[in-house]
Amino acid sequence: MGLTLKIYNYQTYILILLWVSGMVKPFINTYLGNFDIVLFALFVACVDIVFQIATKIKVPSKEYLLAFLVILCLYIYIAISLTFTKSGFYGYEKTINLAPNLVFFLYSSSLKKINMSLFVKAYCILLIPLAFFFIYMKSIVWQVDNESTRIFKDLRNYYLSIGLQLGLLLILCYYRYRKVWLIALVFFLLIASSARAALLFIILTFIIFELIRILRVRVKKNFIYIGSVSLLFVVGLVIGFKNKLMPLLATSFTRFYVLFKGGGKSSTERSNFNNFTSFFFR
């Protein structure tokens, strides 16, 4: 899984930089020193957008500009909601963190050519090792007391970011590579990340996509056979290594149990904020 450094692939590298910058930022700041990779990625993307427009290589279409206007209106609404929210500093922080999405969307309209194979390879090389590290450290953070775990305690709350990225990678791997081992690996990491919303969203996405595909194309016998064998193989691995896998998955199972039971601090707080907003607009 090698990477190619060619000038016509530069937009692919800028896109992957934008894609993962928010996820890797806290890890870079914690282990390598203060460097705002998100601002750096935004700066690089903005320079390329200006270059594309100035040289008329790629100018956003009217449809893209209209979609951008809709997203901008949504962002304005979010900013207005700060006047009545009870979230306080958290609300302002979230609003600021959403702003880069405007640049992300604009940059997608200035893309001339994307090497998807290169994109997925770079995505795997960046995300999978980081996910392994995060899941392992999360599984021992309350069991081992040393400098590494003490430093990591401030990073354990970024499981949602890791889970979201793993979910997106799972979709790309499934529909781009079709490599069973890679799909199974990413799916395992997604479960172990404890990101409930990401996992549920990905499962729902797959169900919808596959229903559409089945309605359009007849299911091939070979696909069913390969899928069945792969499922048995994965189940066998889980049973064979359950003593090592269960500590990694314990937190995830607990969080999903709390979700379906109807409790949990994070779910309760979000429900309370939603009820407050609904009351405000009555």
Q: What is the pLDDT of residues 103-155, one digit of tens each?
A: 888 888 778 778 888 898 899 999 999 999 998 888 888 888 888 888 888 88
159: amino acid identity, one letter: Y
pTM of the model: 0.67
Give the contacts of 249 (CB within 8 A, at least 6 positions apart): 191, 192
Which ranges in the chain belong to alpha helices (H)?
10-31, 37-54, 62-81, 89-98, 100-109, 116-140, 147-152, 159-176, 180-192, 196-216, 221-240, 242-261, 265-280
When mean pLDDT is compared over 38-42, 53-57, 203-207, the highest value belongs to: 38-42
C-alpha to C-alpha distance for 141 and 151, rounded to whole angstroms: 9
When mean pLDDT is compared over 184-193, 200-209, 239-248, the highest value belongs to: 184-193
Distances (CA, A) of 25 to 21, 32, 47, 150, 155: 6, 10, 21, 19, 11
* pLDDT-derived band at 280, boundaries 50, 70, 90: very low
Task: Enter the tokens of residue 171.
Answer: 């979709």
Which has the closest alpha carbon to 109: 166, 69, 167? 69
Q: Are 193 and 135 in contact (CB under 8 A)?
A: yes
Task: Output the pLDDT for position 238.
Answer: 60
Q: Are 83 and 25 in contact (CB under 8 A)?
A: no
